[in-house]
Amino acid sequence: MNEQPSKALLPPGMNDILPPDAAFETRTVERLLSVFRASGYEQVKAPLLEFEDSLLGGAGAAMTSQTFRLMDPVSQAMLGLRADMTLQVARIATTRLANEPRPLRLSYAGQVLQVSGSQMRPERQVGQAGVELIGSESPQADAEVIGLAHETLSTVGIEALSVDLSLPALVGDVFAGLSLNARDQARARAALDRKDEGEVKALGGDAAALLTSLLRSAGPAETALAALEGLALPPDARAACARLSDVVALVKAMAPGIKLTVDPVENRGFEYHTGVTFVLFAKGVRGELGRGGRYLAGGGRNGTTALSARAAHDGAEPATGFTLFMDTVLGALVPDPESRRVYLPIGTAADVRHGLQAEGWITLAGLEPADDAAAEARRLGCSHVLADGLPKEVGEGTGD
């Protein structure tokens, strides 16, 4: 007979989070949400499961390959288990909160489950926390969320941050102005993703020259924007670069010390985004701390002002926001020490316990008489024991 698998064995990409890490994660999420709240972002909570048609409709189709699906035994309909929270919040904004004044600022935190991990992030269950700003197309909205993402990570103690800006739709706009067939476009897109200048040059002609210049323009924001300004770009691509320049100026005015870089050809991971996007990194931290940018929130409402022509045509609202990945965020932080722990011998009065907790102590009450209270405190991981009505360090006049 086959042996039963160990109960501690989990599916690939799944992990138990143990003490004290689980409590540290909770405290960190609370700190993030408090920063969001201070800037006017109100928290919402979306369900783990939604109808497949709702979860994967419109822009959500980009998450199809990462979404677990199952049959609901109650409704007999197909359900999807969320792989990302951004589009759920967008759904809430454009349905349940459709009549709320715009711009609408929402925040969230929760767990998502994805079909597969990546080389940089093998975990398939990941904590997310973030914000969405819905109903404004202004560059100030883009700048606000970029600045807030930087501020939030700085507030929780992550240093040496950088923000890598990109325009996922830019290459498509450039292709529209070039005489490239579908095969060469796919080839060029793959080469740009790999940053393979040799392959781009092999395309030949005007396409090779322009796309190579785009590839070479990546770098610090000021340098990259100057390089883009000098290129002969189609009108839509030029407008996108001008928008990026406006956003950079606004972010710099908001946070003068912020480090901004630009990679104009990057689009991986931004499948449903439509404008300025960004990724957050920190020196010495492996992987992305978060990412975000502009997209169209589906199911827009009538009467919304400041809709772009494309958004109005699609019946969607302009939106921007960001998501922080809690596994990377937590890995970049030094856990703060827990509150002091004191062992209370059996029979300690409730008012004494409550008084200690009010002072910030974590209290562990004895459940059975202990011959050596100090030894029992050490066994349970307490630094102090209650003796003569006061918390005393284990070994300090406690019979040790």
- Is the peptide bond preceding residue 256 cis, with omega within 30 degrees of 0? no
* Domain ranges (residues) in the chain: 11-163+266-338, 169-261, 341-393
* 11-163+266-338 is a CATH 3.10.450.50 domain: no
pTM (whole model) above 0.85: yes
Question: Are 86 and 130 a contacting pair, CB within 8 Å?
Answer: yes
pLDDT in tens, 203-215: 877 889 999 999 9
DSSP-assigned states of every residue in 267-295: -TT-TTEEEEEEEEEETT--S-SEEEEEE
Q: State the residue for tokens 């921007």.
A: 320
Per-residue pLDDT of the chain (400 residues; tens, 9 = 90+): 456 667 779 999 999 999 999 999 999 999 999 999 999 999 999 999 999 998 988 778 888 999 999 999 999 999 999 999 998 999 999 999 999 999 999 999 999 999 988 777 788 999 999 999 999 999 999 999 999 999 999 999 999 999 999 999 999 999 988 888 889 899 999 999 999 999 999 887 788 999 999 999 999 999 999 999 999 999 999 999 999 999 999 999 999 999 999 999 998 888 789 999 999 999 999 999 999 999 999 743 333 333 344 444 456 899 999 999 999 999 999 887 777 999 999 999 999 999 999 999 999 999 999 999 999 999 999 999 999 999 999 975 555 5
